[in-house]
Structure 1
Amino acid sequence: MFKATVIVKRRPTILDPQGKAVEQGAKLLGFNNVKNTRIGKYIEFFIDTDDREAAEKELKEYSEKLLSNPIMEDFEYHLEQVKQKN
Protein backbone atom coordinates (compact mmCIF):
# COMPACT_ATOMS: atom_id res chain seq x y z
CA MET A 1 0.00 0.00 0.00
CA PHE A 2 1.19 3.51 -0.77
CA LYS A 3 0.37 6.85 0.81
CA ALA A 4 0.11 9.59 -1.79
CA THR A 5 0.43 13.29 -1.09
CA VAL A 6 -0.49 15.75 -3.84
CA ILE A 7 -0.04 19.51 -3.84
CA VAL A 8 -1.97 21.40 -6.52
CA LYS A 9 -1.00 25.00 -7.31
CA ARG A 10 -2.22 27.55 -9.80
CA ARG A 11 0.32 28.22 -12.49
CA PRO A 12 2.36 31.38 -11.83
CA THR A 13 0.84 33.11 -14.87
CA ILE A 14 -2.74 32.57 -13.60
CA LEU A 15 -4.30 35.18 -11.30
CA ASP A 16 -5.03 33.85 -7.79
CA PRO A 17 -7.93 35.92 -6.38
CA GLN A 18 -8.09 33.86 -3.18
CA GLY A 19 -4.39 34.46 -2.57
CA LYS A 20 -4.88 38.19 -3.16
CA ALA A 21 -7.77 38.30 -0.67
CA VAL A 22 -5.70 36.52 1.99
CA GLU A 23 -2.77 38.86 1.36
CA GLN A 24 -5.02 41.92 1.76
CA GLY A 25 -6.30 40.47 5.04
CA ALA A 26 -2.71 39.94 6.17
CA LYS A 27 -1.94 43.61 5.50
CA LEU A 28 -5.00 44.67 7.52
CA LEU A 29 -3.62 42.61 10.41
CA GLY A 30 -0.25 44.35 10.16
CA PHE A 31 1.69 41.70 8.22
CA ASN A 32 3.20 44.23 5.84
CA ASN A 33 6.10 42.08 4.65
CA VAL A 34 3.88 39.31 3.20
CA LYS A 35 4.04 39.28 -0.61
CA ASN A 36 2.75 37.15 -3.50
CA THR A 37 0.41 34.87 -1.52
CA ARG A 38 -0.80 31.88 -3.54
CA ILE A 39 -3.42 29.40 -2.33
CA GLY A 40 -3.25 25.73 -3.34
CA LYS A 41 -4.68 22.36 -2.36
CA TYR A 42 -3.09 19.64 -0.24
CA ILE A 43 -4.57 16.18 -0.79
CA GLU A 44 -3.57 12.82 0.67
CA PHE A 45 -4.93 9.34 0.05
CA PHE A 46 -3.88 5.70 -0.10
CA ILE A 47 -3.43 3.46 -3.13
CA ASP A 48 -4.01 -0.21 -2.35
CA THR A 49 -1.29 -1.98 -4.34
CA ASP A 50 2.23 -3.25 -3.69
CA ASP A 51 3.39 -2.29 -7.19
CA ARG A 52 5.10 1.11 -7.03
CA GLU A 53 4.94 1.63 -10.80
CA ALA A 54 1.19 0.93 -10.87
CA ALA A 55 0.64 3.20 -7.85
CA GLU A 56 2.54 6.05 -9.49
CA LYS A 57 0.63 5.62 -12.76
CA GLU A 58 -2.71 5.70 -10.94
CA LEU A 59 -1.62 8.69 -8.84
CA LYS A 60 -0.64 10.70 -11.93
CA GLU A 61 -3.85 9.87 -13.80
CA TYR A 62 -6.01 10.66 -10.75
CA SER A 63 -4.21 13.98 -10.28
CA GLU A 64 -4.44 14.93 -13.96
CA LYS A 65 -8.06 13.91 -14.49
CA LEU A 66 -9.70 14.83 -11.18
CA LEU A 67 -7.54 16.63 -8.63
CA SER A 68 -6.16 19.39 -10.87
CA ASN A 69 -7.22 21.49 -13.81
CA PRO A 70 -4.44 20.96 -16.37
CA ILE A 71 -5.18 24.30 -18.05
CA MET A 72 -4.65 26.39 -14.90
CA GLU A 73 -2.85 24.22 -12.36
CA ASP A 74 0.27 22.18 -11.85
CA PHE A 75 0.71 19.43 -9.29
CA GLU A 76 3.53 17.73 -7.48
CA TYR A 77 3.34 14.53 -5.52
CA HIS A 78 5.08 12.28 -3.06
CA LEU A 79 4.52 8.53 -2.89
CA GLU A 80 5.50 6.56 0.21
CA GLN A 81 5.12 2.82 0.76
CA VAL A 82 3.39 2.09 4.07
CA LYS A 83 2.48 -1.07 5.92
CA GLN A 84 -1.11 -2.13 5.44
CA LYS A 85 -3.21 -2.12 8.60
CA ASN A 86 -5.24 -5.26 9.22
Structure 2
Amino acid sequence: MEEIQELKIRLREDSSPFFTEEELDYYLKQNNNDLDLTTYECLLLKAEDDSISLPGGLQLANNSKYWLRLAKQYKPKKRSLVL
Protein backbone atom coordinates (compact mmCIF):
# COMPACT_ATOMS: atom_id res chain seq x y z
CA MET A 1 0.00 0.00 0.00
CA GLU A 2 1.28 3.47 -0.85
CA GLU A 3 2.36 5.45 2.21
CA ILE A 4 -0.03 8.34 1.57
CA GLN A 5 -2.98 5.92 1.35
CA GLU A 6 -1.95 4.21 4.58
CA LEU A 7 -1.57 7.59 6.24
CA LYS A 8 -5.09 8.55 5.13
CA ILE A 9 -6.47 5.35 6.68
CA ARG A 10 -4.64 5.93 9.95
CA LEU A 11 -5.88 9.53 10.06
CA ARG A 12 -9.49 8.52 9.30
CA GLU A 13 -9.46 10.91 6.34
CA ASP A 14 -12.47 9.26 4.66
CA SER A 15 -14.78 10.02 7.57
CA SER A 16 -13.05 13.19 8.85
CA PRO A 17 -11.17 14.89 6.02
CA PHE A 18 -8.65 17.48 7.16
CA PHE A 19 -5.50 17.27 5.00
CA THR A 20 -4.88 17.52 1.27
CA GLU A 21 -2.63 14.92 -0.35
CA GLU A 22 -0.01 17.64 -0.81
CA GLU A 23 -0.06 18.38 2.92
CA LEU A 24 0.26 14.69 3.79
CA ASP A 25 3.18 14.39 1.40
CA TYR A 26 4.79 17.46 2.97
CA TYR A 27 4.50 16.10 6.53
CA LEU A 28 5.75 12.69 5.43
CA LYS A 29 8.85 14.29 3.89
CA GLN A 30 9.37 16.49 6.97
CA ASN A 31 9.45 13.33 9.08
CA ASN A 32 11.91 11.48 6.81
CA ASN A 33 9.14 9.17 5.53
CA ASP A 34 8.57 7.84 9.06
CA LEU A 35 4.92 6.80 8.83
CA ASP A 36 4.41 6.46 12.60
CA LEU A 37 5.91 9.87 13.39
CA THR A 38 3.94 11.52 10.58
CA THR A 39 0.73 9.88 11.81
CA TYR A 40 1.43 11.14 15.33
CA GLU A 41 2.12 14.71 14.18
CA CYS A 42 -0.94 14.84 11.92
CA LEU A 43 -3.24 13.46 14.61
CA LEU A 44 -2.00 16.16 16.99
CA LEU A 45 -2.87 18.75 14.35
CA LYS A 46 -6.34 17.23 13.98
CA ALA A 47 -6.74 17.42 17.77
CA GLU A 48 -6.79 21.21 17.75
CA ASP A 49 -10.04 22.52 19.15
CA ASP A 50 -12.63 21.88 16.45
CA SER A 51 -15.79 22.76 18.35
CA ILE A 52 -18.19 24.95 16.44
CA SER A 53 -20.65 27.48 17.85
CA LEU A 54 -23.61 28.22 15.62
CA PRO A 55 -26.08 31.08 15.82
CA GLY A 56 -28.84 30.40 18.30
CA GLY A 57 -26.52 28.76 20.84
CA LEU A 58 -26.17 25.39 19.06
CA GLN A 59 -22.73 23.84 19.51
CA LEU A 60 -21.03 20.92 17.80
CA ALA A 61 -18.79 18.86 20.06
CA ASN A 62 -15.02 19.04 20.19
CA ASN A 63 -13.37 15.80 19.03
CA SER A 64 -9.85 16.60 20.22
CA LYS A 65 -9.81 13.84 22.87
CA TYR A 66 -10.61 11.26 20.20
CA TRP A 67 -7.69 12.40 18.02
CA LEU A 68 -5.33 12.51 21.02
CA ARG A 69 -6.27 8.92 21.95
CA LEU A 70 -5.44 7.82 18.41
CA ALA A 71 -2.17 9.80 18.47
CA LYS A 72 -1.08 7.98 21.63
CA GLN A 73 -0.70 4.78 19.60
CA TYR A 74 1.96 6.40 17.42
CA LYS A 75 3.74 8.56 20.01
CA PRO A 76 7.51 8.13 19.68
CA LYS A 77 9.06 6.20 22.53
CA LYS A 78 11.60 8.07 24.61
CA ARG A 79 14.92 6.32 24.45
CA SER A 80 17.29 6.51 27.35
CA LEU A 81 20.94 5.87 26.85
CA VAL A 82 22.63 3.76 29.48
CA LEU A 83 26.37 4.18 29.77
When normalised by structure 1's length, the TM-score is 0.25
TM-score by length of 2: 0.26
Structure with the largest fraction of helix:
2
Higher percent of residues as strand: 1
